[in-house]
Every structure is written in C-alpha cells, then in structure tokens.
Chain A
Amino acid sequence: MKYAFYPGCVSRGGCPELYTAATKVAGRLGIQLDELKDVACNGAGVLPKYISDPINARTLAKAERMGETLMTICSTCTGVLGAANLRFKEEPEYREEINRDYLAEEGLEYKGTIEVKHLLWVLFEDYGIDKLKAEVRRPLKGLKVSPFYGCFMRRPPEVVTPTKEYAGRKNYLEDLIDAMGAELTDFSGKGKCCGFPILTANLENSQAMTAKHTGEAKQKGADCMVTPCPLCHLSLDGQQAGAAKAQGAAIDLPILHLPQFVGLALGFSPGDLDLKRHMVSTKEVENQVSMLT
C-alpha cells in the first residue's frame, strides 16, 4: 500500500508529535508514505478559493503524477483538498482553466483522477479494520475514550459521504475505539466544532466551545479523547487550560492524536509516540497503559 503523503503544516509545526506517531504507525502496518515535500499549505479555509484552488490543483497534480491516492493526517486538510478535488472533478472547464492559467508553466496538469483520504479512512477502507485488529499487541482494555471528529470528517456530505458506500465514515472513530480494545465514552459534541477556526477572531467563544466538549466528555467519565484533526488538538489540548480557567473549573482531559491512540494499541510506548509533547498531561493515560503490558 502506497500513498502520496500530505502531512499538513500543523504536523510539521505546532503538533510535531502527530508526524512522529503517524509515520511510525504507518511503518508498522506496512503502509508506504511517499511524502509530498514541495507542495503548499492548502489554505485551511482561510485563503480564498481563488488562491487555494490553484495551489491545491498543483498538489493534486503532483500526487496524480505519482499515481497514488493522496493521504492526509488532518481533518481540515482532508476537507479543503477534498472540496477542491470535487470541484475539479465535477467542473472540467474550471479544471482546464486552472491547468492552463497556473499549472502549465510548471509542466503540470491535473486530470482529476485521484482521491483524497484521511488516514482514518485509509485504515477502514483500504487496510481493513479486521487486519488492523489482528495487529493489536496491547488491547487498551478499560481505557475510556471519547471520539472527536473535527467538522471536515463529518461534513459537507458531498465530500465526506458522497455515496451510501461511505456512510460508515461518520462512525469510524467509535468503531476504531472498539477495535483497539478500549471503551467508548460517547458524548453529544463529538461531531461539533472545537472552536479552533475562531481562536484569533473570538477567543472567548472559541474557548467556550473547547470547554463545552472536553468538559462534557470528562463529566461522562472519559479518560481521554481521540481526534483525527491536529487543529482540533490545538484547541482541545492547547487551549484547554485557558478554557478551564475561563469557566472556573479544571478539566484535565488528555487529547490523543488518532495515530497515537492506534500506536498505543499496536504496542508502541508513550515515549515512541511523543505523548510528552502535549499541553495537557497524559500521565494518567500512560499509567493506565503501562498496567496493560
């Protein structure tokens, strides 16, 4: 299994532990990651489409030239690249215009033939959850885990669940928690916004969202939360202390990146997966995991 790997800015910036965990887990599972190194940030919904679409067409063209599905480890990268890809596939005239005006000069062309997939989708749709389950060396028995998707892993439907075949994507995290031997702690905010997009525009509202979701999961008994989105992680982990302070009550809920969670079940140590780099201490989770070995 080979993928054109698009790690995204945050896994190479504010969440370096995600890059470490993702590459280690992929290596263990025999998933070959051919990293796209000379491409750009996809715009993350901040850059207007008239700028992000051409640079995303360039990224997609490079992955297409490698003949591989583009794999991300970020919900936002998946959503923004996925939406651009859909426009290029559904509007051939628009795609031709982008090719002609922006890519031809570099000798590139995007034909609209590849898919954009998050690692979570790859694990279920390409690798297979039963095969992954068979790789588990340390079932995370007794660890209570709440899922947190990130908006772009749930919506919009034309990108996330374009046909009935993909309907399961809305439940992959719950299924993964079960497959890794952990215990699901469900809560109402799992598909909502973490608050990250308005972190600079309105810190108060952003932190209120962070506090609401982490607080609810904690109150329901979760030991930790798992997310496939590093931007959600920046809010749920990075802003959690500030959010707790603003609401006047401690939360202290460790937030794991998706490959860290899978990595723990595959038998990697917390040190291998860089859990020490989190803003909210993961000590309790590490203690629980250490009892399982």
Chain B
Amino acid sequence: MEVTFKVYRKEPGEGTKPGRSDYKLELGSDATVLDGLLKIRDEIDGTLGFRASCLRGYCGECTIRANGKSCFSCTTRVSSLTQKAPEVTVDPVRNMPVVKDLVSDWDTFLWNKIDRIQPWLEPSATPANGESIMPDSVMAGVRKAMSCYYCGLCDEGCTVLPVDFGFIGPAALTKAYRFVFDLRDTMTRKRFKFVEDAKGLWDCVHCFEASEHCPRGIGPTERIMDLRDKAFQLGIQNPRAARHHYSFADSIKKSGVLDEGKLAVESEGLTNIRGLLRLLPIAARALRRGKAPIPYMHHKSPGAAQVRRIIEKAEEKHR
C-alpha cells in the first residue's frame, strides 16, 4: 500500500523550531508504524530519531502518537490508521520535552520523578527460614504494579501533566504503590512523606485516564486510590490534604451528608487568614445567587446515627 507518513521533526537544542516532514512510502499490507519509521531511516533520511527495541510490544520503548492517539509503533498496523485517508501523522508523546524528533527526555518525564519516591525496598531482617511470605491477596496488586515496563503511556494520558509538568504523575505513584503495599518494606511512613509532597499524591484528579492508557492492565488510577486509602488509614502527612479529607469524613460521620460550607473553611484551615479571605468573594457571590440559604443551615440525613455507627466500626476494624 502507498501511504504518506507526516512525521514530527525537531533538532536538538533550545530554540530550534519543530516542523513536519512528509515521506511517501510503499509498505506491505501488514506493516506496522515502526516498519514505516525504519524504512524512512534506512532508505530516505538517516537523521530521523526514534526509539524502539523489542519490536513485539513487550518493552514499552517505542511509544509515539499516531494520528493523534498514543500507541506503540511496533504493534500498531498502518492499515488501522489509513481507513479515511492514506496518511499517518507521527508525533512524540505528549507531556514530555522532546530531545530530537520522536525521542523524548525520559529523565525529566519519568526517571527523576520515580527517584522522588525512593524506588527500592528496605526490608526488615530476613526471617530465620529465609522466607518472607506474602498472602496472594496482597501480592495480586503488587504483582500488577511490578509488571510495569515504564512505557510512559499512563503519564502521556494524564490530565494534570499538561497544566503542571512538575506533577509526579501516575507512573511514579504506581511505583510507590509497589513498595508501600509490599509487606517486607519498613519505610512506609518515610516513603509517604515523599509521595505526599507538593505536586504528589494529592494533586492527582483520579480521572481514570491513566488506567485507560495503560497497556498492561495495571490500573494506575486504582493503585493511586489504594495509596490514598492507605495514607488516610495511617494518617495523612500533607497538612492541606489532611484538613480536607478528615473534615470530609467528620462531616459524613456527624450528619451523613457533606457540609460543603464547613469543608471549604476547614480545608483552608481555621488559622489560615489569607486562605479564608480568598474564600470570601466566592462565598458572597454564592449567597447572592441563592446557592445557599441565609442563614447557612446544613441538613442532617435521618439515617445519620446508623451511618456514624458504620463508619466508627470501619475505622475500628482498619485501625
């Protein structure tokens, strides 16, 4: 089949302008996008930069965007992209600084962020028989996280990174999960300190894009939610997140339903004058628009007592 590859090109260095080059190719009907890129490099333009390794979708090295959708170039058939027109656009993945062409800077994108959570196991002393036994129920999640091959697709799909590149991202948080839930690890509290830092665990919007993008079924979003649950159970160390989460829980415990006014104030902190002042214009406008009754009244669920009993029991069970 005849197809035109429209490939993103950029020379290394700051200030170089990116562009797009067109390459007309004759490819077999079962050709992959990587076959096309290799053909360009080998036969037309040896300066084209891209990454690839295993050629069979196992290593996660060849992540790109084809026709605007993230994928592995080695497992994506060209024929699946040319149903509307015999053209394929090839771009580097989003949310990552480009070094050259389709090659991105994985240090700032991923490795430095994974470094932040101290990605190694600090086990307690090995038992006398040399075995540390972990139940299957625990291993199931840890095993999933361990199957990550750092393709970066979860970070590529992340909705926070486009507005804040400093956010730690789902890949690093999934790595944190791998150690936090490993029963042998002894530095959980210390690790949570790093995980909960600014631009960490609590900056995730749990939009499930990361899980949708993960090719391994690891469920990075679910792993992040598990990390949050664990932090809640152990005592959240990030002061802002702690105020918000424990105020939320207190509200449900007392009345069964969320008291949004109280949550807004307590999340800022009762002594945080600047934060509280920031709320005033919004609160005044909301009251003017009839968003809340004047005087402000919070109603209680008729089932509040039973809800409270359930929450206290759950807290006791997971203490």
Contact = CB atoms under 8 A, between A and B. Distances in A.
A212 interface: yes
A96 to B, nearest CB: 15
A152 B307 CA distance: 25
Contact of A14 (B163, B260, B306): B260
Contact of A105 (B256, B285, B309): B309
B207 A151 contact: yes
A39 B317 CA distance: 22
Interface in A184-214: 192-193, 195-198, 200-202, 204-205, 208-209, 212
A29 interface: no
B154 interface: no
Counting contact residues on chain A (CB < 8 A from B), the size range is 35 or more
B311 A41 contact: no
A287 to B, nearest CB: 19
A155 B229 contact: no
B258 interface: yes
Contacts of A198: 160, 202-205
Contacts of A151: 205-209
Nearest to B231: A48
A51 B282 contact: no
Contact of B212 (A106, A156, A238): A156
B53 to A, nearest CB: 29
Most buried by B among A47, A152, A201: A201
A44 B257 CA distance: 11
Given A14-B260, A47-B249, A197 B205 contact: yes
A101 B264 CA distance: 33
Given A37-B301, A48-B229, A102 B310 contact: yes
B310 A9 contact: no
Interface string B189-219: 0000000000100111111110110000000
Contacts of A228: none
Most buried by A among B205, B248, B259: B205
Contact of B306 (A16, A41, A58): A58
A40 B164 contact: no
A54 interface: yes
Interface of B is mostly: helix
B160 A155 contact: no
Given A16-B291, A45-B225, A279-B286, A38 B252 contact: no
Interface string A44-64: 111111110011001000000
B310 A205 contact: no
A43 interface: yes
B252 A14 contact: no
A197 B203 CA distance: 8
Nearest to B166: A205
Nearest to B240: A201
Nearest to A234: B260
B311 A55 contact: yes
Nearest to B68: A188
A209 B163 contact: yes
Contacts of A51: 249, 311, 314-315
B286 A55 contact: no
Contact of A201 (B203, B259, B260): B203
Contacts of A39: 256, 301, 303, 307
Contacts of A48: 228-229, 232-233, 318
A19 B249 CA distance: 24
Contacts of B199: 202
Contacts of A137: none
A67 interface: no
Contact of A40 (B240, B256, B292): B256
A208 B307 contact: no
A157 interface: yes
6 contacts: A13-B257, A40-B257, A46-B248, A102-B314, A192-B207, A205-B164
Given A37-B303, A58-B307, 18 more contacts: A9-B258, A13-B257, A39-B256, A45-B206, A46-B244, A48-B228, A48-B232, A49-B229, A50-B318, A51-B314, A51-B315, A156-B208, A192-B159, A193-B209, A201-B202, A209-B205, A238-B286, A279-B286
| A-B CB proximity, top 7 nearest | A38-B303, A155-B208, A48-B229, A208-B163, A9-B258, A193-B207, A38-B302
Interface of A: 9-10, 12-16, 37-41, 43-51, 54-55, 58, 101-102, 105-106, 151-152, 154-157, 192-193, 195-198, 200-202, 204-205, 208-209, 212, 238, 241-242, 274, 276-279
Interface of B: 159-160, 162-164, 167, 199, 202-209, 211-212, 221-222, 225, 228-229, 232-233, 240-241, 244-245, 248-249, 251-252, 256-260, 264, 267-268, 282, 285-286, 289-292, 299, 301-304, 306-307, 309-311, 313-315, 317-318
